[in-house]
């Protein structure tokens, strides 16, 4: 009889534990579901294919930094078929990553877009030559075949750099380059190739070619590049959401810069069809572009540099009319 009583006690004890456990499980699941349902859904449109250029955004998502700010973020890859500004302006994405030059041009055309933080304090645009060519500075472009891509950021930067140095373009053999494929340089179809120093020279180096990099900012062309953007409507109607997004994104970039190997692991979840080595190289270069000195905080921007970017675009008729450049950006969400 005693034995039956003990068995019964054990049985009911197990049942009680099961019920308690099940109750706790479903309660937690319910709380988790409730918390998830409270997250505000937003989308960010990238300016190009998934790569380490956007590492901080991936980190903010994968490390839960967006969730900490009450956001559920969808990251849309970019490319020729998905330019960021039209996607944001048409409300297909609340936020985007765009070029500072594109933002200024859009605002000059009356579009209600605004930069809310700078990612690239320095433009990745650069010009490359094989080391064996002896081309080290823009002065060496004279009598050489230089690839040019009219209508792009690499083109007006090139023109501005030459003008700053007083170099006569008529003495340069300009070759139309429909792409920035490194093969144009390696196959010696051009002596100088325009492109982005986070990409093409890294590819050349891995293929065994030594490349000289000519950086426009060393010759007086120092402008912003990638910026976070949104519409004026979202800024005015959803300032707290905007602030939360900026805060989490910049925190993601800070983490990526401090933890580069793990950040590359995260990038590789998105950047299929590429190599870890290439993404690591890209992140190393990107880190230098987004945080140029200990005194410059990630995201920071100022009137002086925006004005330099605007003046360059206006000088070369990329922007057709004068306007107040403070319409193009706000630092309210960096405070």
pLDDT value for 82 = 86
- Token output for 29: 């699941």
Say yes or no to pLDDT of 4 above 70.
Answer: no
Average pLDDT, rounded, for the chain: 89
Number of domains in the chain: 2
Q: Residue 116 has what pLDDT?
A: 98
Domain boundary among 193, 219, 245: 219
Assess whether 58 and 169 both reside in one domain. no
Mean pLDDT for the stretch of residues 160-169? 95
| SS3 state at 40 | strand
- Looking at residues 48-66, what average pLDDT do you find? 97
pLDDT, average across residues 41-59: 97
**Closest to 290 (Cα-Cα) out of 218, 207, 226:** 226
Is residue 164 domain-shared with residue 312, that is, in the same domain? no
Report in angstroms the alpha-carbon separations of 183 from 177, 194, 278: 11, 12, 17
Binned at pLDDT 50, 70 and 90, residue 79 comes out as confident
Min mean pLDDT across 137-141, 226-230, 276-280, 311-315 is at 311-315
Q: How confident is the model at residue 80 (pLDDT cuts 50, 70, 90)?
A: confident
Query: What is the rounded average pLDDT of the residues 246-272?
Result: 97
Same-domain pairing of 239 and 99:
yes
> Residue 307's domain spans which residues?
39-122+223-334
Q: What is the pLDDT of residues 102-117, one digit of tens each?
A: 999 999 999 999 999 9
- Using CA atoms, how far apart are residues 285 and 290, in angstroms rounded to an integer? 9
Residues 64 and 187 in one domain: no
Q: What pLDDT, on the 0 to 100 scale, is given for residue 178?
A: 75
CA–CA gap between residue 145 and residue 180 (Å, rounded): 14
- 275 with 310, same domain? yes
pLDDT over threshold 90, residue 321: yes
CA distance 261 to 280: 7
Instruction: Provide the β-strand partners of residue 335.
Output: none
Does residue 234 sit in the same domain as residue 247?
yes
Confirm whether 11 is domain-assigned. Answer: no
Per-residue model confidence as pLDDT tens digits over 18-45: 444 544 444 554 444 444 569 999 999 9
Residue 77: pLDDT above 70? yes
pLDDT for 292: 65
Token look-up 């250029």 returns: 53
Contacts (Cβ under 8 Å, ≥6 apart) of 190 = 145, 146, 147, 175, 177, 184
Phi first, then psi: give them for residue 259, nearest 5 degrees.
-130, 65
pLDDT of 31: 46
- The predicted model gives 189-195 an average pLDDT of 95
pLDDT in tens, 277-313: 999 999 999 999 997 677 888 999 999 999 999 998 9
Of 245, 252, 248, 251, nearest to 56 by C-alpha is 252
Query: Residue 206 domain-assigned?
Result: yes
The per-residue pLDDT for range 12-23, each reduced to its tens digit, is 444 455 444 544
Which tokens sit at 272? 């299929």
Question: Domain boundary residue among 219, 246, 273?
Answer: 219
> Angle formed by the axes of helices 276-290 and 55-62, to 10°?
100
Q: Are residues 96 and 228 in the same domain?
A: yes
| Shared-domain flag, residues 152 and 43 | no
pLDDT at 60 (0 to 100): 98
Residue 9: the pLDDT is 43
- Same structural domain, 228 and 322: yes
Q: Is there a domain that residue 312 lies in?
A: yes
Specify whether 109 is located in the same domain as 240: yes
pLDDT confidence tier of residue 128, bands split at 50, 70 and 90: very high
Percent above pLDDT 70 for the chain? 88
pLDDT at 273: 85
Domain boundary among 219, 250, 276: 219
303-330 b/e with 16+ CB inside 10 Å = b?
Answer: eebbeebbebbbeeebbeeeeebeebbb
105 in the same domain as 246: yes
How many whole angstroms from its chain centre is CA 110?
24
C-alpha count within 13 angstroms, C-beta hemisphere, residue 202: 17
Residue 273 lies in a domain: yes
Pick from 225, 238, 240, 243: nearest CA to 116: 243
């Amino acid at each position: 009889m005693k034995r039956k009583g003990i068995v019964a006690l054990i049985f009911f004890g197990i049942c009680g534990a099961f019920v308690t456990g099940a109750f706790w499980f479903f309660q937690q699941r319910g709380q988790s579901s409730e918390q998830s349902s409270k997250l505000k859904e937003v989308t960010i449109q990238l300016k190009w294919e998934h790569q380490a250029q956007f590492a901080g955004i991936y980190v903010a998502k994968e490390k839960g930094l967006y969730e900490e700010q009450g956001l559920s973020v969808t990251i849309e890859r970019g490319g020729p078929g998905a330019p960021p500004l039209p996607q944001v302006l048409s409300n297909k994405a609340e936020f985007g990553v765009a070029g500072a030059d594109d933002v200024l041009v859009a605002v000059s055309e009356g579009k209600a877009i605004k930069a809310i933080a700078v990612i690239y304090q320095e433009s990745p645009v650069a010009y490359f030559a094989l080391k064996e060519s002896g081309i080290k500075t823009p002065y060496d472009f004279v009598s050489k075949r230089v690839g040019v891509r009219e209508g792009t950021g690499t083109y007006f930067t090139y023109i501005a750099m030459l003008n700053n140095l007083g170099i006569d373009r008529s003495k340069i053999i300009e070759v139309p380059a429909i792409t920035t494929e490194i093969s144009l340089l390696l196959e010696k179809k051009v002596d100088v190739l325009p492109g982005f120093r986070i990409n093409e020279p890294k590819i050349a180096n891995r293929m065994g070619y030594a490349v000289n990099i000519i950086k426009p900012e060393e010759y007086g062309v120092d402008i912003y590049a990638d910026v976070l953007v949104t519409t004026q409507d979202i800024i005015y109607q959803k300032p707290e959401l905007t602030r939360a997004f900026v805060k989490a994104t910049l925190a993601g970039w800070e983490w990526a810069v401090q933890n580069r190997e793990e950040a590359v692991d995260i990038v590789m979840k998105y950047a299929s069809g590429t190599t870890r080595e290439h993404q690591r190289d890209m992140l190393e270069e990107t880190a230098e572009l987004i945080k140029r000195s200990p005194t410059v905080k990630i995201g920071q921007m100022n009137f002086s540099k925006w004005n330099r970017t605007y003046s360059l675009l206006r000088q070369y008729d990329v922007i057709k009319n004068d306007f107040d450049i403070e319409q193009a950006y706000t630092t309210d969400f960096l405070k």
